[in-house]
Amino acid sequence: VVTTQISFLADAIIEAAVRFARRRLEQKRGAPKRPDGRPARFVVLAMGKLGGNELNYSSDVDLIFLYDVDGKTEPQKGAPASAARGWSNAEFFDRLAQDVVKLLSESTPLGIAYRVDLRLRPEGERGPIVRNLESAMHYYDVLGRTWERQAYVKARPCAGDMDLGREFLGYLESWIYRRYLGLADITGIKALKRRIEQRVIREGHDARNAKTGRGGIRDVEFVIQFLQLLNGGDLPKVRVTGTLE
């Protein structure tokens, strides 16, 4: 109950950050439009503990940012001259994502809201901070790896346009939950597990650590996610984001 409520709080704070940042940016640069003239959509996907509605007091928030389609901004009435040139949607949403991260993680006299981790996005730290739907789908179709499928077991939209998030995850569902796991998939998962264990040893964590020790929280989550990947193709009931469920 506590971790669920902490997760709901995080959703609300991220939503507030998105609304505030978008309103401020649209006043300066105009509103991003799709080619058909409708407003362009933007969504924040929650991954990891936030995605599973099991955030702890000290957890980072793992996020992925997406927008629907390319286009350009349209100046609003009374907008400054700087908005007249117009930005591409890619430029607009890149700045929006940066502003949201800054609002959530900037240090203030009261501390920070959350540490934000964006490393689960396509291409990790080398990739752009935000992608459009077509680019993200192409990446996962062509280059998506088993560990990314495992990460997406916990994915859910948490802020912005929830319909856009559900459309995207609906498209990925058959990629995440395949009919069977091949030998290469299972080997990749085993290798990832070994790397995590070796890092824990290198960092000198206590074997009795509730999170990283053998049989700890990380082990439990990892095993459950593996079983979800293994069985999710045949059993839609196990396609849930929460470990407890």
Please state, in angstroms and rounded to a whole number, the distance separating the CA atoms of residues 104 and 115: 7
pLDDT of res. 58? 87
The overall average pLDDT reported for the chain is: 92
pLDDT of res. 213? 82
pLDDT of res. 40? 97
Distance of CA 47 to the CA centre of its chain: 5
Please state, in angstroms and rounded to a whole number, the distance separating the CA atoms of residues 62 and 48: 6
pLDDT of res. 189? 87
Model confidence at 14, in pLDDT bands (50, 70, 90)?
A: very high
**Would you say the C-alpha torsion 137, 140, 143, 148 has a positive or negative sign?**
positive
- CA-to-CA dists, residue 58 to 50, 112, 181, angstroms: 12, 11, 34
- Residue 37 gets the label, from left (phi > 0), alpha (psi -120 to 50) or beta, of left
Radius of gyration of the chain (CA): 19
The H-or-E segment that residue 180 falls in is none
pLDDT of res. 86? 82
Share of the chain above pLDDT 90, in %: 74
pLDDT in tens, 79-114: 666 656 789 999 999 999 999 999 999 999 999 999
Average pLDDT over residues 213-224: 88
One-letter identity of residue 237: K
Give yes or no for residue 210 having a pLDDT over 90.
no
Give yes or no for residue 204 having a pLDDT over 80.
no
User: Long-range pairs for 207-215 at CB < 8 Å and ≥24 separation?
Assistant: none
pLDDT of res. 194? 87
